[in-house]
Structure 1
Amino acid sequence: MTTTSPTWDPQQYLRHADHRGRPYVELLARVPALPREGARIADQGCGPGNVTTLLAERWPAAHITGYDNSPEMLTKAEEYAGPTAGGGRIDFAHADMEHWAPAETYDLIASNATLQWVPGHVDAFPRWLDALAPGGTLAFQVPGNFEAPSHVLMRELAESARWKDRLAGVLRHADAVLAPAVYLERLADLGCEVDAWETTYMHLLQGEDPVLDWVKGTGLRPVLTALAGDPEARDAFVAEYRDLLREAYPATAHGTVLPFRRLFVVAVKPA
């Protein structure tokens, strides 16, 4: 399957920053002590840099590099670059995670909602672990909601008679991520001590068509990118999809509930 490399909109992505950042907080809380006080940390798929700062809060003396392949995201992230209060520093660099081969040794390689965009990411685990110091950690969380209505309806619409000629193969399917038990087995086979779990968040969203607003920042980006040159078609697709989402995620007196499953993995390399 060929997917479109999406163009990202940092401002749209950040509209739900609290909800998107919470899983990273919960992931990092399970990361054990790192091998060095002045740790070297890689933040894979750092996006606009707002959650990279969470790493600096947890490890104030660390040198942290956020990697991303989106020029738009990296430009936004630069506002967080520089020395940190604990004596460390944050910087950012361009990298494509599908082909990223670390050129130095890290104490932590962490990733927040990125690997679902990296085809065959499990095949990269050996080279990433090779780049970890003994006792270092690979920690990531990925969305596990590709069978949720938000994604199923998007795919069905893209594959419908009206849109399939323009959008065939653009969107990811459920195999974009694996089950937690599969990640556990693959990393345990590589010698790691693995902690894997899943959580379904019940995000209570506010405003008009909030689920559409959410997916405009992430899952819908490949469609928006593919139709960017034809605003009329783009708006027509979004309108059809919006109507489907309204039925699948009805508004309540308290807001619109978006159930969102996420998968978490913390793998520690032997010391």
Structure 2
Amino acid sequence: MSWDPAQYLKFGNQRLRPALDLLAQIPLESPATVVDLGCGAGNVTCFIAERWPQAHVIGVDNSAAMLAKAHATLPQADWVESGIADWQPEQPVDLIYSNAALHWLPGHETLFSRLMGFLKPGGVLAVQMPRNFAAPSHTSIDAALDALELPAAVRAGIDANKLNSPVAEPEQYYDWIKPLAASVDMWETLYSHVLNGENAVAEWVKGTALIPVLNGLLAAEDAGQIAPGMRERFWVDYCARTNAAYPRRPDGTTLFPFRRLFFIAIRQA
């Protein structure tokens, strides 16, 4: 999957808000080793390094393009190109911080237990994941794909790679994590992002959940599996659907409600 740092950071200030809200609640004074798991372009890693300047900061991401931008911004950190499912630290760490990344992975019951196992006793797992998959921003993806009437094999390939409501109910995460944790703090926040520009919600989603969809349609066009222009047809239809669900206001802005799940777990001593 190909990430575009410029597209992702188009709404950088709005995307940063939940990351900083999570960071502010972490109850550690002087961690020795901090991992930003799924660090992307490193825009949040900079704030981690600023809060704990003496810490060994490690950023992990599977996108070389994102890591190149991150390294240019924060050269003193260590940057590791790796998928989250494959990553493990050389030794236990004090903090694993992950903002808007773990929802891309399946198997959360085992994933979160695995991450807790990488912590020192008293270490912290701090996670934020979007839980907005029942909103029009995401249901419109399937609706616009349905309208294309794609060949079954093409649709199956896209469905296998796109996000499909991957985040469980909060109580499930509690049950999975609590056996390994001294304490678990959980909360949800519904943000009302104020976006500017045309097709604002579509442009937001284009930087994240639409990536595997648009890439899949482009690959199918290149392979001759679908007619040329179907990717563009999808984009126009998706913009129309999201513009109808999130209409532009008289002042030119678009309000985008977005729900996110947070939790902070402290490993048992």
What is the TM-score of this pair, normalised by structure 1?
0.90
Query: Once the 2 structures are TM-superposed, how far is the Cα of residue 57 of structure 1 from its aligned partner?
Result: 1.7
Whose helix fraction is larger, Structure 1's or Structure 2's?
2
Letter in 1 for 2:46: T
Letter in 1 for 2:267: K
Task: Identify the residue that residue 88 of structure 2 maps to in structure 1.
Answer: 101
Tell whether 2:120 aligns with 1:123: no
| Aligned counterpart for 1:28 among listed residues 6, 23, 26 | 23
- Asked if the contact 1:140–1:265 (Cα under 8 Å) also holds between the matched residues in 2, the reply is yes
Letter in 2 for 1:24: A
| Aligned counterpart for 2:163 among listed residues 157, 172, 187 | 172
Query: Once the 2 structures are TM-superposed, how far is the Cα of residue 160 of structure 1 from its aligned partner?
Result: 4.0
Q: Deviations over 1:152-203 (max 9, x none)?
A: 01022224452363233242222x0112222122111223310000000000
Task: Identify the residue that residue 152 of structure 1 maps to in structure 2.
Answer: 139
Q: Deviations over 1:44-64 (max 9, x none)?
A: 100011111111122111111
Task: Identify the residue that residue 47 of structure 1 maps to in structure 2.
Answer: 40
Query: Once the 2 structures are TM-superposed, how far is the Cα of residue 110 of structure 1 from its aligned partner?
Result: 0.5
Task: Report the count of equivalent residues.
Answer: 257
Task: Identify the residue that residue 5 of structure 2 maps to in structure 1.
Answer: 10
- Asked if the contact 1:44–1:114 (Cα under 8 Å) also holds between the matched residues in 2, the reply is yes
3-state secondary structure, aligned to 1:205: strand
Gaps of 5+ in 2: 222-227
Task: Identify the residue that residue 112 of structure 1 maps to in structure 2.
Answer: 99
Q: Deviations over 1:129-160 (max 9, x none)?
A: 22211111000100000000010010222244
Task: Identify the residue that residue 87 of structure 1 maps to in structure 2.
Answer: none
Task: Identify the residue that residue 199 of structure 1 maps to in structure 2.
Answer: 189
Task: Identify the residue that residue 232 of structure 1 maps to in structure 2.
Answer: 229
Letter in 2 for 1:148: A
Task: Identify the residue that residue 3 of structure 1 maps to in structure 2.
Answer: none
Letter in 1 for 2:93: Y
| Aligned counterpart for 2:258 among listed residues 243, 260, 267 | 260
Task: Identify the residue that residue 136 of structure 1 maps to in structure 2.
Answer: 123
- Asked if the contact 1:167–1:223 (Cα under 8 Å) also holds between the matched residues in 2, the reply is no
| Aligned counterpart for 1:188 among listed residues 155, 169, 178 | 178
- What is the root-mean-square deviation of aligned Cα atoms in Å? 1.6
Task: Identify the residue that residue 71 of structure 2 maps to in structure 1.
Answer: 78
After the TM superposition, which of the residue ranges 66-75 and 194-203 deviates more from structure 2?
66-75
After the TM superposition, which of the residue ranges 141-150 and 49-58 deviates more from structure 2?
49-58
Letter in 2 for 1:9: D
Percent identity over paired residues = 42
- Asked if the contact 1:101–1:127 (Cα under 8 Å) also holds between the matched residues in 2, the reply is no
What is the TM-score of this pair, normalised by structure 2?
0.90
Task: Identify the residue that residue 86 of structure 1 maps to in structure 2.
Answer: none
Q: Deviations over 1:22-56 (max 9, x none)?
A: 1111111111025xx35201111000111111111
Task: Identify the residue that residue 200 of structure 2 maps to in structure 1.
Answer: 210
3-state secondary structure, aligned to 1:259: strand
- Asked if the contact 2:36–2:59 (Cα under 8 Å) also holds between the matched residues in 1, the reply is yes
Letter in 2 for 1:68: D
Q: Aligned partners of 2:137, 2:112: CA distance in 1, in Å?
A: 29
Q: Aligned partners of 1:156, 1:171: CA distance in 2, in Å?
A: 14
- Asked if the contact 2:148–2:234 (Cα under 8 Å) also holds between the matched residues in 1, the reply is no
- Asked if the contact 1:112–1:142 (Cα under 8 Å) also holds between the matched residues in 2, the reply is yes
Q: Aligned partners of 2:25, 2:167: CA distance in 1, in Å?
A: 21
Tell whether 2:241 aligns with 1:244: yes
